[in-house]
Amino acid sequence: MDLHVRYEGDDDPDKCTARKLSRFDLAELHRSDRATPGGVVLNPHAEQALSPADAELARERGLVALDCSWESAGEKQFSMRGEHRALPYLVAANPVNFGRPMELTTVEAFAAGLHILGEPEQADEILGKFTWGETFSELNEEPLRRYAECEDSSEIIEIQQEYLDR
């Protein structure tokens, strides 16, 4: 599955997971909305959750993430073309936000999306470039497995609610 990043460049370049993925030719960086392909866009403000029902479109047109600092993430407008989807509840494993729910790096968001869309080997491949990558898979093993077994967004939301109620 092709991975595309709408790259803002406002993070510390040494900690930027999108740049590292690009260096390994595992994702393509784009500097404008216009240059970014319109596939399945991971958008935390989307009204619909990412689910296996989105897999065909993501395989055809790619999976897209916005890479920007968390300080400015709430201000960013997601005007990229494509089908916008939110990731369900997951916990970060990156050193900056370890243990915090929903504060994922770009690589963590991609890995979650790939798991949900039925591409766990590719998720493991991209996480393997980071010393803490395997920890993300371990921390989220159960929810990722359960999300990947869903048929659509409504089932994802039901399972997410179980985690939020805990």
CA angle 131, 52, 94 (to 5 degrees): 20
Assess whether pLDDT exceeds 70 at residue 78: no
Assess whether pLDDT exceeds 70 at residue 130: yes
pLDDT in tens, 12-24: 777 899 999 999 9
Domains identified in the chain, total number:
1
Round the average pLDDT of the chain to a whole number and report it.
92
Longest dimension (CA), the chain: 41
Q: Which domain holds residue 158?
A: 3-165
- Strand 63-67 to strand 83-85: parallel, antiparallel, or no bridges (unpaired)? unpaired
Assess whether pLDDT exceeds 80 at residue 102: yes
Assess whether pLDDT exceeds 80 at residue 74: no
Query: What are the start-end ranges of the E strands in 77-135?
Result: 83-85
This prediction's pTM: 0.93
Listed in sequence order, the residues at least 6 apart from 74 whose beta carbon sits closer than 8 Å to its beta carbon are none
The kind and range of the H/E element at 164 are helix 153-165
Assess whether pLDDT exceeds 50 at residue 75: no
Angstrom CA distances, 3 to 41, 98, 156, stand at 10, 24, 22
